[in-house]
Amino acid sequence: MSDSCKTFSLLITSPPWSSQAHITALNFAKSIINKKHTLYRIFFYSDATHVGTNSAVAPQDEKDLPSEWKELAKEHNIDLVVCISAGIKRGVLDANEQSRYETPANTLREGYELSGLGQLVDAIIKSDRVISF
């Protein structure tokens, strides 16, 4: 196996609070960066989209997963995409969707983007490896 640099993306489908998947994925993401590979996009699908809810508050004695993803993404210029179809049915709506469906609030966390499954296909096309959690 050569140590040439590769481009990775992550597909996360597991829920943030009732599974260990996000913690494992975060550690994996940090390893990718430490090993000088490129992390292109993190795509949150299915129950993983709950991580993009801005009204969720992490308990003080637990890892603040939504903020950790956001900080990692900001520092290393990684796309954090919440699937729009999976997100809006779980109450994750950005300003556009909020006005379209006339819901009470913009609930998308800052630093996250709400977009379609095409962003996952684009990540598959542009990455050497897509790892699922």
Partner 1 sequence: MKKNILVIMRSAPYGQSRARDAIDLILTSAAYDQEISVLFQSDGIFQLIAEQQPKELGLKNINAQISAFEMYDIEAVYYDQESLSARGLKPEQLNDQIKPVSNSEIQSLLNQADTVLTF
Question: Which residues does the annotation mark as catalytic?
Answer: 83
CA dist 121 and 104 (Å) reads 31
Neighbours of 32 (CB within 10 A): 21
Considering only the stretches 31-39, 59-67, 97-105, 115-123, report the one whose residues sit in contact with partner 1 under the rule CB under 8 A: 115-123
81 binding partner 1? (CB under 8 A): no
Residues of 34-44 as b/e, b for ≥16 C-beta within 10 angstroms? eeebbbbbbbb
Query: Tokens 């609070």 correspond to what residue?
Result: 17
117 binding partner 1? (CB under 8 A): yes
According to CB under 8 A, which one of 17, 74, 95, 116 is a site residue for partner 1? Answer: 116
CA dist 133 and 125 (Å) reads 19
Task: Pick the closer one to partner 1 by CB: 108 or 123.
Answer: 123
114 binding partner 1? (CB under 8 A): no
Positions in the binding site for partner 1 (CB under 8 A): 11, 13, 45-46, 85-86, 116-118, 120-122, 124-127, 129-130, 132
